[in-house]
Structure 1
């Protein structure tokens, strides 16, 4: 139990339904959907779409999603891939011929076809109960009336506003400047798009005027996107991947998501006495950093479009983790593997919902970097993701940009099962996400932390810029890590942001929400 004389918050406890996410309005809308008779999928979609208005630098209808959920009839754990593909005419060779070694972050080359709306429509029809008109109504209302800009959102907005270009600056700035905390942000163009989706389903987005508007904005900048690319967009039902750590099973979304990286990282950490280390000491931060370097190097070598990921079982195999663990020197930091070259971002939203029937949804939804590509469509102001920057331009690489393929994605929802206890959870933060999953699981399994404490706890991450160590660590620990050879930096932005709901065997729902974001857990 936490010290009630210290700043912090307690877990939220209830018995009917629960949502945990990064903005209170989205949590409230999700709970309201549950109270009106919707199930967890209805509530998760309603909250997620609204987050695109509340946190437009993080996500929106021009982005992608991945979903894990328990089937409301069988209870089986299922996965849905709502990530979009490169346009058919996309070609790594064409970019190499231009002298490029990486996909430009803020050009039309980085824009893959948005996949989230197709996924939301599919899930609403096949799993939800209320229908799109009811689910989308709150987001439409808030997009028209506007939402006050929250503190963390304003911080990110100021950091990322330089990405916005052309019409996006008119749509996402107020009189040419970043919104202040408490100022009202409106998105009437998105409200109109959502109304069309509510009436027409996926066709309201992927055909007709909305698709034409998006294609026109991209082709004007030299993009190769076509209306046929939009019309062909479809989500994919798939099967989670899993691994075990200290008696609990971690379920992750399969490639092209990077969930297998979290499993590999925990498999490596299982070879060390993590529980015998100080939870916020140098030894744990060091071994975690080394495990991350090795696991992320494997990710960059193997994870790609599902049809091109050939060595997934090798990544998940216990012997692979054992061999990698043997490469870790507890007395010295290794150089970061050269393949760890992903352009790092911290911009994603995550929402988890559990309903009265104990259906659980773990949903993550993103436009990749802050404000994505920075490109918005002229008429409706749909801000477009830059997920294509996740492709490699290396000839023959499994993740090489190829028309019609999906790039490696950083966003990953998760669930943790411990006997009769199920916990949908997620950790936002771009590349950090697998490390974040491993850290939260280890906080719970190795150190027995309360759920909120497991999310509150200070974080570190071996990034391309060095070993990021949050201010929650002591200066003495930072010095010890530097003495081990780590290039220690204190990040300006908090590392990640997490949400979790634990379905306890006694029927109580227990939830936690990361204070690094503006959100909360809310139940009824």
Structure 2
């Protein structure tokens, strides 16, 4: 009866009561949250989630579980992430209540500059060319997380990934659907690694990658040096040089991830955290600041008014992000101003509720950002003590370049495709510079409730974060319901085009069209709007909750109790 009373009170006062937020579901919610006093791993592939949960059962914490799950993800979903990509994370330390941000995005080779490319006749970045391969940051990110917060050795954390790479695993449904990248068939090492015998694996077909197992074993034995300062490094550099790259052993050896302070804003009493630039998380905060000026709850969930506000807020927030964000080590980024309520007040006044804006604040930037990268993985973990990891990892566009160095078993990212070749801009190419990044983990909290969440998908991510937050805060949904809801995405930076899942009602779509939005319809639970996970800690009751997006092969899997 007490539980029912709490739930009823919450429905009557969505924006003021926090402790009961987990109990509010919505009609048609496809699955229940996972609820336990022990740990949970929510990942976009069930083998990875299970591996992380097993690490918790072996005595590891949320950080250990996140590393183990991420390593397995690189084996079972190489078309979105792996050792050749980058990594970002937010760690919530339960005993102190502090947040720690990790930026392990790689930099360009020191010798790769605009002048170098122009001297070699290159005036446009090939999205799968060797010039897009930055130094991968994933392994350094694992090392930084484990060194600061982990409790178990790499040999234990990487054991599940090594097993699946060496012994194989049968492909799940979405594995098979996205496995083949036809545009990469001629990339060196791609077919040999991912299409055994030249045949695309189908659902249930077993896939092995013994070369990747060997690379993981080297890291398990020698730590980060195996990747950045050892024989594997020399193999990678020799291969990249043969493709025309400028990479050196020193570029790998000198790379270090960076611990950063998360940035934040408030949204109707909640505090929302993202990582600072060079990522796009600042756009999610700016969107929420603009949305706060409108009565979203009164409009109704996924109504024409609510969607119109969010789509228009996206355009305004992304315009500023596009203009100002780059690697802050090279160009100052006005973070304080960009997340200020004062700027949001001015931007909100630009929204016409009756008409979509097909062009927002004029920009003097000549070259449009490439919306090429839309594939990433996001996972979140929580342990019995309430520590949370919000982690995201990516190759940028699918397999990235699709290039695989002999004997390594993983493809190199193409994150450098996001650079611009016009000098003097925040995101202009330079040596040892990190590009404007799409991948962003997130965190939100109010009172006793702490949520680690994220939704992958290129430039979709910041706008998807804002939609998730609105689902929780404005519409009182639990995290599972919030992840399941139909979403929109606008991958471009100009125009009135917007992609919307077909589960948005037809009358709502018609009203948006009337206001000038050019709607491109997506299938239900579309890959284009991203896949997300979320974990929740209720510190008052010491209870953990989690949700997993049905747009993936993923699950939220709880830790089993040990009986020893």
TM superposition score category, shorter chain reference: over 0.9
Question: Counterpart of 2:441?
Answer: 413
Deviation, 1:359, is: 1.0
Which residue in 2 is equivalent to 1:478?
A: 509
Greater Cα shift, 301-310 or 33-42: 301-310
Gapped regions of structure 1 (runs ≥ 5) = none
Structure 2 distance, partners of 1:248, 1:256, is 24
2:420 touches 2:428 (CA, 8 Å); kept in 1? yes
Instruction: Give the Å deviation of 1:163.
Output: 2.6
Report which stretch shifted further, 490-499 or 439-448. 490-499
Post-superposition offset of 1:73: 5.5
1:72: Cα distance to partner?
6.1
Tell me if structure 2 keeps the 8 A contact 1:161–1:178: no
Alignment counterpart, residue 114 of structure 1, candidates 125, 136, 151: 136
Structure 2 CA distance for aligned equivalents of residues 107 and 397 of structure 1: 22
- Give secondary structure in 1 for the equivalent of 2:323: helix
> Which residue of structure 1 lines up, in the alignment, with residue 46 of structure 2?
24
Residue from 61, 70, 78 that aligns with 1:56:
78
Contact (CA 8 Å) 1:93, 1:393: kept in 2 or not?
A: no
2:544 corresponding residue in structure 1: 509
Note the 1:3-22 alignment, pairs <5 A. 6=28, 8-22=30-44
Q: Is the partner of 1:409 in helix, strand or coil? A: coil
Candidates 320, 326, 341, aligned match of 1:318 = 341
Mapping of residues 172-191 of structure 1, within 5 Å: 172-191=194-213
8 Å CA contact 1:154–1:181 kept in 2: the answer is yes
Q: Is the 8 A contact 1:332 1:484 kept in 2?
A: yes
Alignment of 1:192-203 (within 5 A): 192-203=214-225
The one of 379, 383, 388 aligned to 2:411: 383
- What is the Cα deviation at residue 258 of structure 1? 1.2
Task: Show the 5 A alignment for 1:251-266.
Answer: 251-266=273-288
Say which of 402, 407, 425 aligns to 2:430.
402
Counterpart of 1:104?
Answer: 126
- TM-score, normalised on structure 2? 0.89
Matched, 1:170 2:192: yes
Q: Residue 305 of structure 1 contacts residue 407 of structure 1 at CA under 8 Å; is this kept in 2?
A: yes
Higher deviation after alignment, 214-223 or 88-97: 88-97
Contact 2:379 2:532 in 1 (8 A): no
User: How far apart are 1:58 and its partner, in Å?
Assistant: 0.6
Q: C-alpha separation between the residues in 1 aligned to 2:339 and 2:26?
A: 39
Once the two structures are overlaid, the 10-residue window that deviates more, 463-472 or 192-201, is 463-472
2:467 is the alignment partner of 1:467: no
Q: Offset at 1:185?
A: 1.6
Quickly say closer, same or farther: Cα 1:305–1:230, change in 2 above 3 A: same
1:116 positional shift: 1.1
Within 1, Cα distance between the matches of 2:343 and 2:96? Answer: 34
**What is the deviation of 1:414?**
0.7
Q: What does residue range 263-412 of structure 1 map to in structure 2 within 5 Å?
A: 263-307=285-329, 308-337=331-360, 341-412=369-440
Q: 2:233 maps to which residue?
A: 211
- Counterpart residue number, 1:429: 457
Shift of 1:474: 2.0
Shift of 1:336: 4.2
Q: Tell me the secondary structure at the aligned position of residue 61 of structure 1.
A: coil
Question: Which stretch shifts more, 164-173 or 254-263?
Answer: 164-173
CA contact 2:386–2:544 (8 Å) conserved in 1: no
Between the two proteins, the alignment pairs up a number of residues equal to: 522
Q: CA 1:507–1:190 in structure 2 vs 1: closer, same or farther (change >3 Å)?
A: same
Matched, 1:456 2:522: no
Structure 1 pair 195–336 and aligned structure 2 pair: CA distance change class (3 A): farther
Write out per-residue CA displacement over residues 258-306 of structure 1, whole angstroms, 9 at most, x where no aligned residue: 1111100100111111111131222211111111111111111111113
Which residues of 2 match residues 228-243 of structure 1 at below 5 A?
228-243=250-265
1:463: Cα distance to partner?
Answer: 2.6
Return the match for 1:125 from 141, 144, 147: 147
Question: Alpha carbons of 1:7 and 1:278: their partners in 2 closer, same or farther (altered >3 Å)?
Answer: closer
Q: For the structure 1 residues 420 and 3, does the alpha-carbon distance in structure 2 shift closer, same or farther, using more than 3 Å as the test?
A: closer
Contact residue 165 and residue 212 of structure 2 kept, 8 A: yes
Output the CA distance in 1 between the equivalents of 2:163 and 2:60: 18
Which structure 2 segments of 5+ residues have no match? Answer: 1-23, 560-564
1:518 paired with 2:546, answer no
Q: Normalising by the residue count of structure 1, what TM-score does the alignment of the two structures yield?
A: 0.96
